[in-house]
């Protein structure tokens, strides 16, 4: 494992959900001090439990020593108070995919972080240029889009806003390398590269279900065995979170003004029902029993 990038010692992570806890995990393993925030202590406790379990999995696979696991855990501090980000050199926002919420977080962050700190968002689709405008440092603002599950997936998309300066970009490129990951550089257009291609495919799978072309089982089986995808699109949608998938379709639809990106009404219905996938126990599959059971 490489060493932390000089000048970046403490990394703040806002939001301790499935992405935030993964981001905290990989930075702590790479030797950075991490401050991770969420709205409630319970969510932080749950995140620490997930991180502990995921680190243990790496120990079991001989990817990490028991000592390194303990050291990584000791480097992560949970907080419900953004004021604790006062010593961060870099802050990565990983709260829900809602532009107004992200902007509120960045407005609050600039009040507490040092002037030198780089601000970044793990947004899946929202304009980096637009998010940067609410800060006092659009030149030190970037998109850093991790893939789920963060400790496992190699790729990180790096997105410059219109004002991002070269030193910031180079530091973030070095940060990605220090995590043992590969960067793909994307321009700041709705959903960047990965989700511009992936999420419309998921939306099309939901239309295929909505129109009765296939069942949940047959659609996922067709795509797994027919195209060699490791997960079917509906299984993957549940894994990503159906609220996140819908939010990305809305960003594509609004941002590119093309009706080919209209979200499937069935996806909207699942989100309205609170059936958001794995994280809520039910989506296109029901995860509350021993085995996932299709919900249609
Ligand atoms: P999630 O719902 O699992 O987690 C979001 C967390 O943010 C929650 O714990 C919530 O309590 C917390 N939060 C909300 N407002 C907050 C605030 N003001 N301060 C601190 N914490 C706050 O969502 P997720 O799947 O982790 O997604 C987070 C971000 O990462 C989104 O922008 C999403 O688009 C992006 N992303 C998601 C995936 C994926 O596969 N799920 C992949 C890449 C990027």
pLDDT value of position 95: 97
Atom of ligand 1 nearest to the CA of 14: 20
Q: CB 229: neighbour CB atoms within 10 A?
A: 15
Q: Which residues are catalytic?
A: 124, 145, 157, 195
Cα separation, 105 vs 112, whole angstroms: 11
pLDDT digit string, tens, across residues 164-218 = 999 999 999 999 999 999 999 999 999 999 999 999 999 999 999 999 999 999 9
> Which regions of the chain are under pLDDT 50?
none
- Rounded to 10°, the helix 194-210/216-227 angle is 140
pTM value is 0.93
DSSP, collapsed to helix, strand or coil, labels residue 92 as strand
Atom of ligand 1 nearest to the CA of 105: 18
pLDDT value of position 3: 87
Q: Provide the token pair at 274.
A: 């609170």
Q: Which of the 8 DSSP states describes residue 13?
A: E
CA of 26 relative to ligand 1 center, distance in Å: 16
Cβ of 122 closer than 6 Å to ligand 1, yes or no, is yes
Cβ of 78 closer than 6 Å to ligand 1, yes or no, is no
The owner of tokens 């010593």 is 87
pLDDT value of position 210: 98
Burial of 214 (0-12, 13-18, 19+ CB in 10 A): middle
Residue of the nearest CA to atom 18 in ligand 1?
105
């Amino acid at each position: 494992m490489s060493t932390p990038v000089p000048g970046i010692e403490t990394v703040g992570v806002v939001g301790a959900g499935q992405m935030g806890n993964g981001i905290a995990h990989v930075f702590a393993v790479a030797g950075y001090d991490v401050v991770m925030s969420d709205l409630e202590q319970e969510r932080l406790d749950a995140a620490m439990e997930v991180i502990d379990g995921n680190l243990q999995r790496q120990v079991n696979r001989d990817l990490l020593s028991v000592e390194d696991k303990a050291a990584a855990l000791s480097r992560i501090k949970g907080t419900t108070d953004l004021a604790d980000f006062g010593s961060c050199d870099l802050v990565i926002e990983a709260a829900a995919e809602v532009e107004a919420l992200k902007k509120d977080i960045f407005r609050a962050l600039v009040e507490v972080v040092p002037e030198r700190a780089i601000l970044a968002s793990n947004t899946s689709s929202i304009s980096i240029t637009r998010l940067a405008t609410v800060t006092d440092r659009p030149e030190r603002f970037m998109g850093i889009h991790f893939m789920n599950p963060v400790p496992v997936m190699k790729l990180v998309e790096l997105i410059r806003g219109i004002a991002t300066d070269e030193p910031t970009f180079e530091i973030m490129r070095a940060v990605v390398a220090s995590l043992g990951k590969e960067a793909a550089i994307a321009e700041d257009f709705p959903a960047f590269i990965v989700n511009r291609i992936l999420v419309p495919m998921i939306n099309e799978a939901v239309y295929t279900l909505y129109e009765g072309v296939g069942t949940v089982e047959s659609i996922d089986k067709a795509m797994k065995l027919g195209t060699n995808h490791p997960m079917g699109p509906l299984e993957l949608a549940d894994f990503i979170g159906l609220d996140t998938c819908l939010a990305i379709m809305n960003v594509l639809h609004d941002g590119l003004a093309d009706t080919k990106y209209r979200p499937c009404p069935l996806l909207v219905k699942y989100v309205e029902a609170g059936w958001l996938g794995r994280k809520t126990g039910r989506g296109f599959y029901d995860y509350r029993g021993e085995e996932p059971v299709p919900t249609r």
